[in-house]
């Protein structure tokens, strides 16, 4: 907790370095966290995220406030959401691993969808633009072969860049087939047999576990835990990673 508080103090001091239309509200949230008012700070981070003002920095600060509050599952969700927005942020990756160990989760319990990792790689290295560039080079090389048949090296380059371009393009395409996932943010969150608060409880979910989302119905998600058990969880207990959070309720 002491480390988290020190981190929040540093974040509040660095707040003027962040730019954006909601800079003042972001600074206010950091000041609230620095003062130890974690619930209000988290509520303000949530308002910013729900309004579309998402960034890896916002979620990282949210994670620090949640950690200081003792909500490790929520902190892990915020860090994983930050990683979705900025897959190349090594500090976020380190914090994810630290929290995973703190929650005593296996690596597989926070990565149930291998294709999701391919999607992060594609976003980090802009695979879409890279694929377009390679395919454009291939077209140029093919055109050069037609104009200069003696340029045999161009023929090899044309086919090599075509193959590489198609291979790179296949990564984001494959990643699009990954199932959406959610993070269990509450300890012993109930797993129900129907999308209703009065439904029978069939089990419980581990805090911090990342679960595939099979379907959704209003404020309920049908999920599958690491052991293969399926059931319904409320969105307050399992937050999706593929979209900004809904406005927080009191």
Percent of the chain with pLDDT over 90: 61
Average pLDDT, the chain: 87
pLDDT on residue 123: 87
Residue 21: band (very low, low, confident or very high) from pLDDT cuts 50, 70, 90:
very low
249, with CB counted inside 10 A (0-12, 13-18, 19+), is: exposed
Mean local confidence (pLDDT), 201-218: 95
Residue 18: pLDDT above 50?
Answer: no
Mean local confidence (pLDDT), 6-29: 61
* β partners of residue 192: 201, 232
pLDDT on residue 164: 92
Residue 233: band (very low, low, confident or very high) from pLDDT cuts 50, 70, 90:
very high
* β partners of residue 182: 211, 240
CB neighbour list of residue 137: distance below 8 Å, 6 or more residues apart: 157, 161, 165
Residue 17: band (very low, low, confident or very high) from pLDDT cuts 50, 70, 90:
very low
pLDDT on residue 196: 94
pLDDT on residue 65: 96
Residue 92: pLDDT above 90?
Answer: yes
**How many CA atoms lie less than 13 Å away from 53 in the CB half-sphere?**
17
Count Cβ neighbours within 10 Å for each residue of 27-60 and write b for 16 or more, e otherwise: bbbbbbbbeeebeebbbbbbbbbeeebbbbbbbb
Residue 7: band (very low, low, confident or very high) from pLDDT cuts 50, 70, 90:
low
Residue 221: pLDDT above 90?
Answer: yes
Residue 1: pLDDT above 80?
Answer: no
161, with CB counted inside 10 A (0-12, 13-18, 19+), is: buried
pLDDT on residue 67: 95
pLDDT on residue 216: 94
Q: What is the pLDDT of residues 99-133, one digit of tens each?
A: 999 999 999 999 999 888 888 888 888 888 998 99
Structure-token pair, residue 155: 């023929």
Residue 153: band (very low, low, confident or very high) from pLDDT cuts 50, 70, 90:
confident
Is the pTM above the cut of 0.75? yes
Q: What is the pLDDT of residues 30-75, one digit of tens each?
A: 999 999 999 999 999 999 999 988 999 999 999 999 999 999 999 9
């Amino acid at each position: 907790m002491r480390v988290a508080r020190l981190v929040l103090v540093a974040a509040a001091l660095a707040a003027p370095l962040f730019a954006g239309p909601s800079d003042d509200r972001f600074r206010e949230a950091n000041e609230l966290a620095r003062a130890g008012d974690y619930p209000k700070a988290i509520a303000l981070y949530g308002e910013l995220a729900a309004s579309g003002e998402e960034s890896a920095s916002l979620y990282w600060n949210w994670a620090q406030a949640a950690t200081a509050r003792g909500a490790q599952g929520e902190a892990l969700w915020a860090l994983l959401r930050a990683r979705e927005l900025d897959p190349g942020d090594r500090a976020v990756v380190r914090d994810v691993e630290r929290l995973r160990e703190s929650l005593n989760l296996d690596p597989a319990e926070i990565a149930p969808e291998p294709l999701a990792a391919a999607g992060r790689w594609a976003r980090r290295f802009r695979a879409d633009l890279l694929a377009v560039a390679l395919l454009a080079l291939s077209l140029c090389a093919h055109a050069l072969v037609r104009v200069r048949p003696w340029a045999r090296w161009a023929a090899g380059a044309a086919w090599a860049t075509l193959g590489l371009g198609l291979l790179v393009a296949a990564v984001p395409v494959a990643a699009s087939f990954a199932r959406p996932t959610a993070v269990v943010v509450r300890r012993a969150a109930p797993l129900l047999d129907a999308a209703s608060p009065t439904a029978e409880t069939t089990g419980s979910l581990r805090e911090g576990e990342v679960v595939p989302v099979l379907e959704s119905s209003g404020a309920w998600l049908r999920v599958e835990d690491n052991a293969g058990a399926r059931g319904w969880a409320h969105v307050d207990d399992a937050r999706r990673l593929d979209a900004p959070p809904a406005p927080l309720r009191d």
